[in-house]
Amino acid sequence: MSESGRDFHPDSSEIFGLLKRPTALSDLKYDLNAGVPDPNSLPSEALGRAFTRILESNPEESLTYDTIHFGFPALKAFIAHKYADSVAGINDDWVTMVSGSAHGLDNIASAFFDKGDGVIVGAPSYPGAIRTFTARGASVFAARQDASGITGDSLKLVLEKCQDENIRVKAIYLIPNYDNPSSVLMPVERRKEILQIAQDYKVLVIEDGAYAGVDLSGAPPDSLFEMAGGEGVIYCGTFSKTIATGLRSGYLMASPDITRSLRFMRLDNASSPLVQRAIYEFVSSDEYESHLSKILSIYRARRDAASESLIKYCGRFVEFDEPKGGFFHWLRLRDGISASSIVSKAREFGVAVSAGSGYYLEDDPESDSRVRLVFSTLSEDDLADAIELLGKSFESIRK
């Protein structure tokens, strides 16, 4: 009750004003902003058949809480099985199903971070992770990325600084396969170096595999989770990028002691058993392999079309490394061009791209010289048109 004696009920417009809105689909003609799968390639028919089969064959278990297992055991075993060669003893006890990897990151933060604990992310990094860790009370620090991902030197520097200031760093968060936003595929040597540092400083590694599987230029190196034999690494996986974001299904994989702590902090009555059973039907069928090879060839062609147009229409203004997978081009703007001004100029031309500033902690000197461009959702022709307009936006701010 407030002092005036009435309950405080803010109206919905007040609440809306309080919300910070994360990356969303844009209303502009060309959306190169939202990092989601191609909307025309979502496997709706195959999933529809899978859902029908599940509901017909096992309505009871698929439509009731799963707080015993925290994940359909067959799906968890299917996930764990892929790691059997490199992680001794792995089985479904190592896996918990979550409602997307965003939920997984929150589950990790709720289980491991107390107020003031440190967590190190890349500069740049995925804003959703920064938001989640901060919301759970952690202090977030950034280690620089180069063309191979977070650098060992920068990581050690941040760890030392935290030690000097009596800040207990609990974890390093990274996206080794096709980082969001930098698209970097971390090479083996860097993976080893980061794991060694994590071990030396006794910090947990949170490996976000959101884009794992979206391999557009050959097979990636082993995950950090595999390289560490499953020790000291929590792997966070998702079906959002290879199947559909709307399933809201992902998983956390870690040694059973960690998994127990993660489950202990689950206050949500577990994730959807119906969705997990349908996913299991789909991923264990031949349809999944053909879905994967179809979407990968679409993304490969789009990546190439976007690269070609970027060179053709924007080559004087930007440079970039060819993405080996994932959904993004991460552009470095030449000659002091400001990311925020190109983002607002492109908006006038009907093109949505995201400014680098959203991917850094505050005040990073690099942040206004980077732009992220998504190639996964538009056709090759639309990408060419959109990037031509982006080129015109650059020309217009450079006049």
> Which listed residue (128, 152, 221, 229) binds ligand PLP by CB under 6 A?
128
Told to check if 276 binds ligand PLP by CB under 6 A, we report: no
Phi, psi of 72 (to 5 degrees): -60, 115
Assigned token pair, 244: 């559909």
Told to check if 210 binds ligand PLP by CB under 6 A, we report: yes
Single-letter code of the amino acid located at 344: S
Residue where the block lists tokens 């055991």 = 73
Assigned token pair, 379: 């056709």
Told to check if 393 binds ligand PLP by CB under 6 A, we report: no
Assigned token pair, 40: 């025309």
CB of 262 to ligand PLP, least distance (A): 16
318 contacts 372 by C-beta, under 8 angstroms: no
209 contacts 223 by C-beta, under 8 angstroms: yes
CB of 77 to ligand PLP, least distance (A): 21
> Is the CB of 212 or the CB of 389 nearer to ligand PLP?
212
Q: Which are the contacts of 189, defined by CB distance < 8 A and separation ≥ 6?
A: 148
Told to check if 353 binds ligand PLP by CB under 6 A, we report: no
Output the CA–CA distances (angstroms, integers) from residue 61 to 57, 67, 210, 327, 361, in the order listed: 10, 11, 28, 36, 44
Told to check if 100 binds ligand PLP by CB under 6 A, we report: yes
Residue where the block lists tokens 């918990």 = 96
What Rg value do the Cα atoms of the chain yield, rounded?
Answer: 22
CB of 238 to ligand PLP, least distance (A): 3
Told to check if 198 binds ligand PLP by CB under 6 A, we report: no
Phi, psi of 233 (to 5 degrees): -130, 135
> Which listed residue (158, 175, 185, 243) binds ligand PLP by CB under 6 A?
175
Told to check if 35 binds ligand PLP by CB under 6 A, we report: yes
Told to check if 180 binds ligand PLP by CB under 6 A, we report: yes
Residues numbered 234-253 forming contacts with ligand PLP, rule: CB under 6 A: 238, 240, 245, 250
Assigned token pair, 262: 């993660």
CB of 380 to ligand PLP, least distance (A): 23
Told to check if 182 binds ligand PLP by CB under 6 A, we report: no
Told to check if 208 binds ligand PLP by CB under 6 A, we report: yes
Q: What is the binding site for ligand PLP (CB under 6 A)?
A: 35, 100-102, 126, 128, 175, 180, 208, 210, 238, 240, 245, 250
